[in-house]
Amino acid sequence: MKTQSFAPAEQSGSDSLPIEWIILNGHDEQDRAWIDKQSGFDEAVKAIVSMPPTHVRRVHLGTEIILTLARRDSTTRNDPTGLTMVIDTHRLVTVCYGTDAIVEEALDRQTTGSVPAGISRILSLLVAALIRPLDSEITLLSDRIDALEDQAMKASEDGMDDAVVLIGRRALSLRRYLAPMHDEVSYLALNPDELPGSVEAKSLRRAAESLARLVSALDSSHNRVLLILDQLKNRDVSRQARSMHKLTLVATVFLPLTFITGLLGINVAGIPDAHNPLGFWVVCGILLGVAVLAILLIRWRKWM
């Protein structure tokens, strides 16, 4: 548990209320005991902050605002990580679930910075620290899609579908958390009266713009994945069409041969002119001529 108090800002237009920032670890027994016995939260708030966040949401309970920010972290086997903030007039309680280092980074930036502390300022720092590791991951996803696009151009490249689908699923997984986060931060930036104090909406707008940039990059990555899958699908369809075309040509050559042999009821003992030693070869020559004529017809009609 960490506690940091910030004096009210002197500048007009900034947050002007004193703030006590309390940082808790949601997995620590002592911090959970503080939530149960000393926080002063009602049971509804305790129920929310005591559970690891699974999605982004904002809840108003009386004078308190509960804002939950969640994301999936690739370094923790895709387990959801995040934080829950209980915002009151003079207090900000942040309960961390796998995001202790991120919240401490935001605390250090606020403590060592020259910008006055405020709910909007702290919230923007938390959002920036929460999404900063994802920036490089989204860039890496884009680079991998570039490589897959180059591979998809090679007709001999097979077995790409699974790799492309995995990239697409990762992009959608990130977007599932970043898009709602962007919506909530944008809403607070457009409706600063939802937060206590005289909120500086500029910092929230910057955080919303950063989130919008990442969401846009994920949308672009997902669209590129869909294009690659379409290209692979079209290539497979083209291969199947060529195979069927070849099979049809072979069937076209053998169809008249099958018809003639079926019509005459040819077998080894009853071929026409069986008494002649050359009768078998004559019939084979006729069938060969018919096959050659079929091939010439196919080439003349440019079917192959």
Q: What is the mean pLDDT of the chain?
A: 80
Residues 98 and 136 in one domain: yes
For residues 40 and 124, what is the distance between their CA atoms, to the nearest angstrom?
A: 26
pLDDT at residue 279 in the model: 67
pLDDT at residue 38 in the model: 87
Residues 261 and 146 in one domain: no
User: What is the separation, in whole angstroms, between the first and last Cα of the chain?
Assistant: 77
pLDDT at residue 73 in the model: 60
Residue-wise pLDDT for 19-53, tens only, equals 788 889 988 899 999 988 888 888 888 888 888 88
Residues in the chain: 304
The residue out of 215, 236, 257 marking a domain boundary is 236
CATH number for the domain that contains residue 51: 3.30.460.20
Residues 232 and 244 in one domain: no
Burial (CB count within 10 angstroms: exposed 0-12, middle 13-18, buried 19+), residue 15: buried
- Give the residue with greater pLDDT, 170 vs 294: 170
- Contact, 118 vs 200, CB < 8 A? yes
Residue whose structure tokens are 């405020």: 118
Whole-prediction pTM: 0.72
Burial (CB count within 10 angstroms: exposed 0-12, middle 13-18, buried 19+), residue 271: middle
Residues 149 and 276 in one domain: no
CATH number for the domain that contains residue 251: 1.20.58
Amino acid at 27: H
Residues 249 and 228 in one domain: no
Domain that holds residue 250: 239-300
Residues 85 and 149 in one domain: yes
Residue-wise pLDDT for 225-278, tens only, equals 999 888 888 888 887 888 787 778 777 777 777 776 676 665 555 555 556 667
How many CB atoms lie under 10 A from the CB of residue 224? 20
pLDDT band at 14 (very low <50, low <70, confident <90, very high): very low
Residue-wise pLDDT for 148-194, tens only, equals 888 887 755 566 788 888 888 889 888 988 999 999 999 988 888 88
The residue out of 236, 268, 286 marking a domain boundary is 236
Residues 212 and 259 in one domain: no
Instruction: Indicate if the pLDDT at residue 280 is higher than 70.
Output: no
Number of domains in the chain: 2
User: 133, 135, 145: which is closest to 214 by C-alpha?
Assistant: 135
Residues 32 and 68 in one domain: yes
The tokens describing 83, both together, are 């934080």
The residue out of 186, 219, 236 marking a domain boundary is 236
